[in-house]
Amino acid sequence: MSCDNKKVEKDLRYLKILSTQYPTVQAAAAEIINLQAVMNLPKGTEHFMSDLHGEYEAFLHILNNASGVIKEKVEVLYKNTLPEKERAILATLIYYTDAKLKEIKETVSDLDEWYRITLHRLLEVCRLVASKYTRAKVRQALPKDFAYIIDELLHTNYGELNKENYYANILSTIIEVEQADEFIIAVCTTIKRLVVDRLHIVGDIFDRGPRADIIMDSLMEHHSVDIQWGNHDILWMGAAAGSRTCIANVLNNSMNYSNLEVIETGYGINLRPLALFANEVYQNVNTDCFRPKISDENSYNPKDVLLVSRMHKAIAVILFKLEGQIVLRNPSFQMEDRLLLDKIDYGKRQIVIGGTAYPLADTEFPTVDPQNPYQLSPEESELMSQLRFSFQQSEKLQRHAKFLYSKGGLYACCNGNLLFHGCIPMNMDETFMAFGVNGESLTGKTFLDYAESVARQGYYAKPGSPERQLGKDFLWFLWCGKHSPLFGREKMATFERLLIPDPAAWTESKNAYYIHSKKEEVCLKILHEFGLYSPHSHIVNGHIPVKSKDGELPVKAGGRLIVIDGGFCKAYQPTTGIAGYTLIYNSYGIRISSHEPFGGVENAIRNNKDILSTAVVFETMEDRIKISDTDVGIQIRENIEDLKLLLTAYRTGLIKERHNSNTDKM
Ligand SMILES: O=P(O)(O)OC[C@H]1O[C@](O)(COP(=O)(O)O)[C@@H](O)[C@@H]1O
Ligand SMILES: [Mn+2]
């Protein structure tokens, strides 16, 4: 059989399946018309955020206000007809509907009138944000209880006068039957749902800030999200997979910020075994180097600080041992320079790293056997077994890890842009850095694809198998490994920061990517590596805070590189000077917003405070971008081609139409 015939046969099988969905010429033709119409609609809005670092309140706020897009819609409609304050109240009502409703109801004198006016306004905003979607898509987005009525109010087109009466009637009935609050909530939810078509999280949801688990819960409810794993996310995925080294690292990070809440309340992981162990083994041991970083000394009881310091030291020592074990069993990671515990000179209280001797602030490690420094003591081993059990038993953590795997990856190509958290590892000569894998040398996209498959293996390979062990070790490598694409630095100086007072030892040299990616031609080379050639293609990164305080800009390389880690993380705000960048890519172009530090939900609600400081329009398209110009457009075009083939099959009789009365099975 010729190649062509085979193809026709293959197509025919597929077309027969397609014919079950479109059983008649009319059905197939109608779908072609629909799809063709969709192609001409404006591109949906994409919203990019990164480096959230557990700051759930600021995250939820920016998610609610869609980085200013909701306010923008309110402005479009009411800039000339409503005072500033009323516009801000309306916007806040959309962001925090429940709380704002409660507040307004306590103050307004004629509630029915307020309901009438507000419902009318909210429906106008909703109509505006719905206008770039098909009616079918809007219907899908509507909350179940009020779907029919909102659909009716958004789309009915009677003569002006009739419409006014019709409207007024529906609205007054809603108020009369005491459903106004529920209806307002439903419309506001719809606005927030429609205003952003796709959310991209460019990594680092976890660590430092208070409650990454709350962010994860909200992402799991989002209608359309993808995640590019950050080094902190992969660390938690490794912990969920049962890697003791990743677990020790997660706990070390949490103790460092005295952030026990996310572990205990968030994920229900019992820290009592660690506390008991620390209190026993480190009771008469100096733990000054392990004092947690706490922003408000007064809110902590000194006893708690002492306990957390002990727990921090206990887990950090375990971490250094376990990291040593990974380095020793994985020569391919080329991280022997991170074997530090065997380099401690206890007599001189110093350590030699890279040929330099550094005094140590602490050499009191009761569980370290200098002859066998990487071995856990039996008690440490028992403790790690208990902790691993808790991490693996945490239903919520496992749910979140699975979600990160299903919605995430090391990188994403979306509508011409390349999104990844850290870097594409490069050499000083601008070539892609090679990683040795089973005798082969992998670079660029090929390495990232390989790395992603091993990261999946760490969670999904059979427990106890060598594949699973390698996968778990590799998750740790991605977190902090030499030039890992997520980490992009030569080393992670956790040991040095904790134990060596000389800051010269803390330097974590960045991969050459961070020098070269400032050049447009290098960004183009990277984009081409991922098959992206559009003049409007960009790289979107997180990971390295943009020090806007020092005049650094988030847009680099002639506009080809956008770095949106502006510092949601409170601990880093003094360095960045702002509280984060976010990106909006809609049918008009790309816009970067910089945000002020978030002053809390209460302030946002009571004072109608947005934290949007500036919106920098960075790239405006000559023509409005349509769906036909996007990835979805490519898919739709393929669907249209398939449907046209189906039409031909019907017309030539290769496939028979099936009308209702025709019950023939395929
Ligand atoms: O400031 P902290 O929380 O002590 O963390 C410092 C560590 O975090 C890192 O910057 C990694 O975290 P990021 O991915 O957020 O940059 C390490 O390079 C560094 O050693
Ligand atoms: Mn990072």
Nearest CA to 231 among 18, 12, 541, 637? Answer: 541
Residues 408 and 468 placed together within one structural domain of the fold: yes
Is it the case that residue 6 has pLDDT exceeding 70?
no
Please identify every residue whose CB atom is under 5 Å from ligand 2, which is an ion. 204, 230-231, 543
Is it the case that residue 175 has pLDDT exceeding 90?
yes
Mean per-residue pLDDT over the chain, rounded = 91
Residue 207 located in a structural domain: no
Residue 657 located in a structural domain: no
For residue range 368-419, list pLDDT tens digits in order: 999 999 999 999 999 999 999 999 999 999 999 999 999 999 999 999 999 9
Residue 128 located in a structural domain: yes
- Looking at residues 271-296, what average pLDDT do you find? 94
Residues 190 and 219 placed together within one structural domain of the fold: no
Residues 59 and 159 placed together within one structural domain of the fold: yes
Other CB atoms within a 10 A radius of the CB of residue 302 amount to 8
For residue range 210-242, list pLDDT tens digits in order: 999 999 999 999 999 999 999 999 999 999 999
Residue 298 located in a structural domain: yes
Contacts of 277 (CB under 8 A, 6+ apart): 314, 379, 380, 383
Residue 635 located in a structural domain: no
Enclosing domain of residue 394: 212-506
Q: Tell me, using a 6 A CB cutoff, whether residue 482 lines ligand 1.
A: no
Q: pLDDT grade, residue 4 (50/70/90)? A: very low
CA distance 108 to 89: 13
Residues 336 and 274 placed together within one structural domain of the fold: yes
Domain count, the chain: 3
Residues 339 and 221 placed together within one structural domain of the fold: yes
Residues 360 and 489 placed together within one structural domain of the fold: yes
- Ligand 2 center to residue 605 CA distance, Å? 31
Give the number of the atom of ligand 1 that is nearest the alpha carbon of residue 508.
18
In the numeric block, which tokens belong to residue 483? 């030039």
| Paired sense of beta strands 198-201 and 225-228, if any | parallel
Three-state secondary structure call for residue 159: coil
CA distance 202 to 581: 12
CA distance 353 to 344: 10
From the CA of 229, which ligand is nearest?
A: 2
Q: Tell me, using a 6 A CB cutoff, whether residue 489 lines ligand 1.
A: yes
- Looking at residues 615-632, what average pLDDT do you find? 84
Is it the case that residue 7 has pLDDT exceeding 60?
no
Give the number of the atom of ligand 1 that is nearest the alpha carbon of residue 565.
15
From the CA of 543, which ligand is nearest?
A: 2
- Ligand 2 center to residue 462 CA distance, Å? 29
What is the enclosing helix (H) or strand (E) of 85?
helix 84-95
Three-state secondary structure call for residue 584: strand
Over its C-alpha atoms, the chain yields an Rg (Å, rounded) of: 28
Q: Tell me, using a 6 A CB cutoff, whether residue 629 lines ligand 1.
A: no
Among protein residues, the one whose CA lies closest to atom 14 of ligand 1: 543
Please indicate whether residue 636 or residue 576 has the higher confidence score (pLDDT): 636
Is it the case that residue 611 has pLDDT exceeding 60?
yes
Q: Tell me, using a 6 A CB cutoff, whether residue 204 lines ligand 1.
A: yes
Residues 177 and 270 placed together within one structural domain of the fold: no
CA distance 251 to 42: 46
Q: Tell me, using a 6 A CB cutoff, whether residue 498 lines ligand 1.
A: no
Residue 632 located in a structural domain: no
Percent of the chain at pLDDT > 70 equals 94
| Paired sense of beta strands 555-556 and 561-563, if any | antiparallel
Percent of the chain at pLDDT > 90 equals 77
Residue 465: per-residue pLDDT = 97
In contact, 588 and 618? CB cutoff 8 Å: no
For residue range 125-143, list pLDDT tens digits in order: 999 999 988 888 899 899 9
Q: H helices of 330-465, where? A: 378-393, 395-407, 444-460
- Looking at residues 569-574, what average pLDDT do you find? 76
Is it the case that residue 298 has pLDDT exceeding 70?
no
Q: What angle do CA 360, 366, 372 make, to 5 degrees?
A: 85
Residues 339 and 481 placed together within one structural domain of the fold: yes
Residues 237 and 295 placed together within one structural domain of the fold: yes
Residue 58 located in a structural domain: yes
- Looking at residues 585-608, what average pLDDT do you find? 84
CA distance 97 to 595: 22
Secondary structure letter of residue 136 according to DSSP? H
- Say how many residues make up the chain: 666
Nearest CA to 32 among 648, 643, 645? Answer: 643
CA distance 323 to 266: 26
Residues 325 and 277 placed together within one structural domain of the fold: yes
Nearest 10 degrees: Cα torsion 525, 526, 529, 531 = -100
Residue 502 located in a structural domain: yes
Residue 5: per-residue pLDDT = 46
Residues 580 and 563 placed together within one structural domain of the fold: yes
| Phi, psi of 429, deg, nearest 5 | -85, 15
Q: Tell me, using a 6 A CB cutoff, whether residue 657 lines ligand 1.
A: no
Contacts of 141 (CB under 8 A, 6+ apart): 133, 190, 193, 194, 223
Q: Tell me, using a 6 A CB cutoff, whether residue 493 lines ligand 1.
A: yes
What is the enclosing helix (H) or strand (E) of 637?
helix 631-652
ipTM over 0.85: yes
Three-state secondary structure call for residue 216: helix
- Looking at residues 85-100, what average pLDDT do you find? 94
Residues 33 and 60 placed together within one structural domain of the fold: no
Among protein residues, the one whose CA lies closest to atom 15 of ligand 1: 543
Last residue within a domain, chosen from 443, 476, 506 = 506
Residue 450: per-residue pLDDT = 97
CA distance 34 to 48: 29
Last residue within a domain, chosen from 467, 487, 506 = 506
Q: Tell me, using a 6 A CB cutoff, whether residue 491 lines ligand 1.
A: no
Give the number of the atom of ligand 1 that is nearest the alpha carbon of residue 487.
14
Give the number of the atom of ligand 1 that is nearest the alpha carbon of residue 421.
14
Residue 203: per-residue pLDDT = 96
What residue has token string 């074990």?
Answer: 325
Among protein residues, the one whose CA lies closest to atom 6 of ligand 1: 494
Secondary structure letter of residue 266 according to DSSP? I
From the CA of 53, which ligand is nearest?
A: 1
